[in-house]
């Protein structure tokens, strides 16, 4: 089991550029989550999908952020245009809920720096 795979591991971009973060969940997991972590705000849920359908995007900070899950094995989080305050570590996690066992697994994260 390869776990949740995120790419790239690190991204440095200039303000105003488009950034696309990628995630491959664990095969068979039916939930996918995007989180953002900063020193100031900790881990924040941005959006989550169930069976490829977005369920709750209330955590997406603004219209510059968008997320898609075109199939069960791939999701993207896009920021356009990027701003310095978007600098953070972005984690993708997938989950298969069986009873009260949430089976959550996080990817290694993408460390984004916007200069």
Partner 1 sequence: RKEVEQDPGPFNVPEGATVAFNCTYSNSASQSFFWYRQDCRKEPKLLMSVYSSGNEDGRFTAQLNRASQYISLLIRDSKLSDSATYLCVVTLSGSARQLTFGSGTQLTVLP
Q: Is 49 in the site for partner 1 (CB under 8 A)?
A: no
The 3-state DSSP composition of the chain as helix, strand, coil percent (nearest 5) reads 5, 55, 40
Count of beta carbons in the 10 Å neighbourhood of residue 94: 26
Q: Do the beta carbons of residue 93 and residue 105 sit within 8 Å?
A: yes
Bridge partner list, 45? 35
Give the interface segment with partner 1, choosing from 18-26, 66-74, 79-87, 90-98 (CB under 8 A): 90-98
Residue 102 binds to partner 1 (criterion: CB under 8 A): yes
Binding flag, residue 45, partner 1 (CB under 8 A): yes
Binding site for partner 1 (CB under 8 A): 31, 33, 42-43, 45, 48, 50, 55-56, 91, 95, 97, 100-102, 104, 106-109
């Amino acid at each position: 089991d390869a776990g949740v795979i995120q790419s790239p591991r690190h991204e440095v971009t200039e303000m105003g550029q488009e950034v696309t973060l990628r995630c491959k969940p664990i095969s068979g997991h039916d939930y996918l989550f995007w989180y953002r972590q900063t020193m100031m705000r900790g881990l924040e849920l941005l959006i989550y999908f169930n069976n490829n359908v977005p369920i709750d995007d209330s955590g997406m900070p603004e219209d510059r952020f968008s997320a898609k899950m075109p199939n069960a094995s791939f999701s993207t989080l896009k920021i356009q245009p990027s701003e310095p305050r978007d600098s953070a570590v972005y984690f993708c996690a997938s989950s298969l809920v069986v009873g009260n066992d949430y089976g959550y697994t996080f990817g290694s994260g993408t460390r984004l720096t916007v200069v």
